[in-house]
Amino acid sequence: MRRGRRIAVDVGDARIGVASCDPDGILATPVETVPGRDLPAARRRLAAIVAEYEPIEVLVGLPRSLSGGEGPAAAKVRAFARELARVVAPVPVRLVDERMTTVTAAQGLRASGVNSRKGRSVVDQAAAVIILQNALETERVSGEAPGEGVEVVI
């Protein structure tokens, strides 16, 4: 397992959940929810978070269907990840499978008594935490960086 902090991002149309982990990659924790309607502003805020946390990589959740296919949402996230990679370079950006993370996060929050209306921004952060925990576990088991790298296009 590589040593170093990671940042995970759950990209949505309205909000972007952000999570981070400790340098040993043991525990993922929520960071914040970034408004997602203004994408250039969102990318600037994410770049500021990356500068502050100094991660070894940024993991972006890639929404796939249950069968593993990709639809319009995945295309939007791929485009977002390419732009983010350009903004945060030289920090690498990787796309990781995020199937069911938002559903799992919402169920967990409901089970702990969080009101769904008040918890929307928290759900995005919780989904980012799940994305990051899954990626850390994948790396621990496989010994390789999770997901696929995003090329920086200048």
From first to last of the 154 residues of the chain, give the pLDDT tens digit: 899 999 999 998 899 999 999 999 999 999 999 999 999 999 999 999 999 999 999 999 999 877 778 888 899 999 999 999 999 999 999 999 886 565 565 666 566 666 656 566 688 888 899 999 999 999 999 999 999 999 987 6
154 belongs to a structural domain: no
CB 51 within 8 Å of CB 91: no
HEC string for the chain: CCCCCEEEEEECCCEEEEEEECCCCCCEEEEEEEECCCHHHHHHHHHHHHHHHCCCEEEEEECCCCCCCCCHHHHHHHHHHHHHHHHHCCCCEEEEECCCHHHHHHHHHHHCCCCCCCCHHHHHHHHHHHHHHHHHHHHHHHCCCCCEECCCCC
pLDDT given for residue 92 in this prediction: 97
pLDDT given for residue 91 in this prediction: 97
116 belongs to a structural domain: yes
149 belongs to a structural domain: no
1 belongs to a structural domain: no
137 belongs to a structural domain: yes
151 belongs to a structural domain: no
Domain count, the chain: 1
41 belongs to a structural domain: yes
| Domain of residue 10, residue span | 6-144
d(CA 117, CA 99): 23
39 belongs to a structural domain: yes
Number of C-alpha atoms within 13 angstroms, CB side, residue 62?
Answer: 24
CATH number, domain of 36, equals 3.30.420.140
